[in-house]
A and B are shown apart, each in its own frame.
Chain A
């Protein structure tokens, strides 16, 4: 963990986040003193924390101010795993949008308003979206429109509409457009039938035209005198809430949604695999677990039930959606389902390539699960065992990995449509390469199958 100011905390002059002795703090600058004091004294801060909408924090006073213009230091409650909007499934982005709007409505009750509506201000903490930017609140100016309206539409509404009307994978546009999907792009990509949706027409299509029309231009004095009443403000928030509520996630043809129901494992093999896994997790007793290629999270739940903060990754947004809905329904607060393709994982992006952290930068986790994954990496994506083991060695301290031999029906499917060029794909080569990075602690063959589960510990280099 790097000490000092964190690289993503530079846009807002009101303050910044920094690490000191491995702990995260936030400095509030003198320039924001009045707004912050109002936020505290008005009761809004306590209301939001009590409602679970804002991350709680401890007031540290003036001790350890980082710069001369500092007013106060606060220590926010740590978040187990920082995730980004392009790693969320449809319902996660939708819940994050509702959280932002609910906070804005509450803020208006206290004569305050959100000065930004970035999706990066939301994190998933113990299964729920929570607002993390304590410095986003300013006093409401009577007659002023919502300064964060465009940002809200770009960060939430546009990607949600694209995912709902076009394709769930379009959430990945948020990875390219770090300040949200530009409305003119969203408008041109959305199908014509979205003009039948009043909310999308208003907040995406017409809004984007207005932006285009006044791009770099001025406004006339009659408009400058016009005021935006509080009722209009509340109407705007209600309208955004209503359009987002109506957007639906359509899951139909994902190959992975019914993965466990097909012939991947016999019942005996499946139960035995779970038993081996339970034993290995108990042995390691990890605090943090990353399940790579988790599908709908069946094995993540084993780690979650043992109390480990578990991130359940999969590249298919449809299965991540299913996983998230299941977590919400069952109240599984230890599991965080996320969309991530390990053949192209999140890299360092944003300003100076430091604003948003790569997956490696957010690790290492205590334990990684790589179950039924290696054949996808090595055969479907031609990644040699050497590179798989080196990458896994960078992201975890311990590893539970499943080796699936060529004779397995799943590998046969992968090889059925291509020439078998994978002469090195065998258990001996697998062990040889992994032993260079890890120490094999335990191995057990899964009953009624040719697959083997390994428990490995990373070697100290």
Chain B
């Protein structure tokens, strides 16, 4: 595959910045890093939904528990 070196300068710089920010000695791999960013919203919504459902379930259960008493 022929890739012009000029085309790699900007993305390469961004990548370097990101890897530096990530710090640590373990290379997360660009693909894994980007993949997490791609699915971030999906995961965030999933987390909030799970918490929300948990709270509703808790409230319903507490109503029945009170009634039971």
Contact = CB atoms under 8 A, between A and B. Distances in A.
Interface of A: 11-14, 115-116, 138, 141, 144-151, 153, 202, 206-207, 210-215, 217-221, 223-224, 226-229, 231-236, 238-239
Given A150-B28, A218-B14, A145 B44 contact: no
Interface string B5-25: 000101110110110011111
Contact of B14 (A219, A227, A238): A219
A218 B29 contact: no
B56 interface: no
B47 A231 contact: yes
A150 B46 contact: no
Given A116-B26, A234-B47, A224 B36 contact: no
B29 A150 contact: yes
Interface of B: 8, 10-12, 14-15, 17-18, 21-26, 28-48, 50
Contact of A231 (B14, B15, B44): B44
A186 B38 CA distance: 21
16 contacts: A115-B26, A145-B40, A153-B32, A207-B32, A210-B31, A211-B30, A213-B31, A215-B30, A221-B14, A223-B34, A228-B40, A232-B47, A235-B43, A235-B45, A235-B47, A236-B43
Nearest to B7: A218
Contact of A211 (B8, B31, B37, B44): B31
Given A202-B39, A228-B37, A138 B14 contact: no
A207 B30 CA distance: 11
Contacts of A138: 23-24
B59 to A, nearest CB: 21
A141 B26 contact: no
Contact of B11 (A11, A147, A217, A231): A217
A206 to B, nearest CB: 7
Given A218-B10, A224-B14, A231-B44, A212 B37 contact: no
Nearest to B13: A218
A141 B23 contact: yes
Contacts of A153: 32
A35 to B, nearest CB: 10
Nearest to B41: A232
